[in-house]
Amino acid sequence: TRTLELAVIAGDGIGTEVVEQGLLALDAALSGQDVVVHPTAFDLGAKRWHATGETLTDADLAAIRTHDAILLGAVGDPQVPSGVLERGLLLRLRFALDHYVNLRPSRLYPGVTSPLSAPGEVDFVVVREGTEGPYVGNGGAIRVGTPHEVANEVSVNTAFGVERVVRDAFARAAARPRKKLTLVHKHNVLVHAGHLWRRTVEAVNAEFPEVTVDYLHVDAATILLVTNPARFDVIVTDNLFGDILTDLAAAITGGIGLAASANINPDRDAAGKSVAPSMFEPVHGSAPDIAGQGKADPTATVLSVALLLDHVGLPDAAARVERAVAADLADRLAHVGRVRSTTEVGTDLAARIRG
């Protein structure tokens, strides 16, 4: 019997609601398989911060590191200064565990209504760089609060960091039927970082000659995501552009309640063992506007569980979860106007996964 050591960070707001359903889906997906999940809940987020002032201690991090994977709900709370939990907990995890591939698939499932009138067949994946860009905290401010305030957030782009995520994106493109990679940046203005990304894509393309490459400035990419999303296969982009584009991608493929993500550290040691656990979470946040009301759609978290299963080498279980979600989404068309609670959707999904 194989065991799966799972660190669970439910976090804040709807995070706790959707993670509960994600765990039900995970159990259902592994029923009848020779795999046992050992979940360890970590008390992290607003409540812990209010009680202790801590976001993520070294001891928490060390404990989380020993797990095979992490399932995260969402962090962020209106009662906590903006940025404290986002940086101190979520980004700290992504940086410390070197989650340089932030994988965000977007697929318009049959039966799902898009706000676009003629979206076509939408099925692309954004490979968002996860450890660099303006997120690194290389910034500062002087004369704060005065009319002469200066506030800087420097975007950090290293050859090492860009190359490793670009190579990962190429490998993903090469493994897909259309074999197409779109670099999204803004090298007409951000000439230093932009040209590093452009040159890196050109260089790595030599290793993947079967992949067709094109380029869009990020502003133009937002147009095409709305007017012709079917044109995209794999997008590779920096941390901040990827954040923004994937909320838009979610919106055109049925909403933020369906958008899943994986924060992956693909690196392995000499023995072939993963160097750090990867982390799986919905793209959405803690949604304080609907928290505690049972209104959150847990589908994004359940699809993140599918990404988790795939990552830990259980593709059949992952496929069961995805098929169940696809069936549930197709069924929504037959029940327009029906409103299900978070737990109702979760229970329906778990039942479908069990088959």
Active-site positions?
135, 186, 219, 243, 247
Tell me: is residue 94 an annotated ligand-binding position: yes
CB 247, min distance to Mn ion, A: 6
Give, in order, the Cα–Cα distances in Å from 107 to each of 137, 233, 301, 325.
32, 10, 15, 12
Q: Is 161 in the site for ligand NAD (CB under 6 A)?
A: no
Determine the 3-state secondary structure of 106 from DSSP: strand
**What are the tokens at 133?**
């860009």
Give whichever of 17 and 243 is closer to Mn ion, judged by the CB atom: 243
Tell me: is residue 285 an annotated ligand-binding position: yes
Determine the 3-state secondary structure of 71 from DSSP: strand
Q: Is 8 in the site for ligand NAD (CB under 6 A)?
A: no
Contacts of 263 (CB under 8 A, 6+ apart): 93, 94, 97, 99, 101, 102, 103, 130, 278, 279, 280, 281
Q: Is 6 in the site for ligand NAD (CB under 6 A)?
A: no
Q: Is 353 in the site for ligand IPM (CB under 6 A)?
A: no
- Contact pick of 243, 297, 310, 322 for ligand IPM (by CB under 6 A): 243
Q: Is 256 in the site for ligand NAD (CB under 6 A)?
A: yes
CB 77, min distance to Mn ion, A: 16
Give the Cβ contact number of residue 14 at 10 Å: 30
DSSP β-bridge partners for residue 36? 3
Long-range contacts at 273-277 (CB < 8 A, ≥ 24 apart):
274/68, 275/98, 276/65, 276/97, 276/98, 276/99, 277/7, 277/64, 277/65, 277/67, 277/68, 277/69, 277/70, 277/97
Q: Is 243 in the site for Mn ion (CB under 5 A)?
A: yes
* Residue with the shortest CB distance to ligand IPM: 86
Q: Are 284 and 301 in contact (CB under 8 A)?
A: no
Between residue 280 and residue 299, which ones bind ligand IPM under the rule CB under 6 A?
A: 283, 285
Give the Cβ contact number of residue 36 at 10 Å: 11
Query: Residue 44 binds what, of ligand IPM, ligand NAD, Mn ion, none (CB under 5 to 8 Å, by partner type)?
Result: none
Q: Are 343 and 294 in contact (CB under 8 A)?
A: yes
Give whichever of 243 and 310 is closer to ligand IPM, judged by the CB atom: 243
Between residue 32 and residue 91, which ones bind ligand IPM under the rule CB under 6 A?
A: 76, 86, 90-91
Torsion angle, CA of 311/285/121/212, rounded to 10 degrees? -60
Binding mask 29-68 for ligand NAD (x = CB under 6 A): ----------------------------------------
CB 279, min distance to ligand NAD, A: 10
CB 111, min distance to ligand IPM, A: 26
Closest CA to 83 of 124, 29, 137, 37: 137
Which H/E stretch holds residue 23? helix 14-30
Q: Is 112 in the site for ligand NAD (CB under 6 A)?
A: no
Determine the 3-state secondary structure of 78 from DSSP: coil
d(CA 294, CA 347): 13
Q: Is 86 in the site for ligand NAD (CB under 6 A)?
A: yes
Give whichever of 247 and 344 is closer to ligand IPM, judged by the CB atom: 247
Task: Choose the binding region for ligand NAD from 40-48, 50-58, 61-69, 73-81 (rule: CB under 6 A).
Answer: 73-81
Q: Is 75 in the site for ligand NAD (CB under 6 A)?
A: yes
Closest CA to 70 of 78, 60, 80: 60
Tell me: is residue 296 an annotated ligand-binding position: yes
Tell me: is residue 287 an annotated ligand-binding position: yes
Residues at the interface with ligand IPM (CB under 6 A): 76, 86, 90-91, 243, 283, 285
Query: Which residues here bind Mn ion, judged by CB under 5 A?
Result: 243
> Which residues make up the interface to ligand NAD (CB under 6 A)?
14, 18, 74-76, 86, 90, 256-257, 281, 284-290, 296-297, 300
* Annotation: binding site: 94, 104, 128, 219, 243, 247, 285-297
